[in-house]
Amino acid sequence: MTWTLPNILTVLRLVAAPGVAIMFLYFHRPWADWFALTLFIVAAVTDWFDGYLARLWKQESKFGTMMDPIADKAMVVIALVIITGYSGMNPWLILPVTVILFREVFVSGLREYLGAKAGLLKVTKLAKWKTTAQMVAISILFLGTGLEHLEGIARQGMTTDQYALAVSQGLADPIRSCGARGCSSIATMVGLGLIWIAAILTFVTGLDYFLKSLPFLKEDKQ
* pLDDT tens-digit map of 76-92: 999 999 999 888 888 89
- pLDDT tier, 67 (very low <50, low <70, confident <90, very high otherwise): confident
Query: Percent of the chain scored above 70 by pLDDT?
Result: 89
Topology adopted by domain 5-212: Four Helix Bundle (Hemerythrin (Met), subunit A) (1.20.120)
How far is the C-alpha of 39 from the C-alpha of 36, rounded, in Å?
Answer: 5
How far is the C-alpha of 73 from the C-alpha of 63, rounded, in Å?
Answer: 16
User: Is residue 112's pLDDT more than 90?
Assistant: no
Contact between 97 and 138 under an 8 Å Cβ cutoff? The reply is no
Overall average pLDDT of the 99-116 stretch: 85
* pLDDT tens-digit map of 144-176: 888 888 777 777 777 767 877 887 887 777 655
Domain coordinates in residue numbering, the chain: 5-212
Contact between 130 and 201 under an 8 Å Cβ cutoff? The reply is yes
Q: pTM above the 0.85 mark? A: no
DSSP codes of every residue in 166-180: HHHTTSS-GGGEETT
The reported pLDDT for the residue numbered 35 is 93
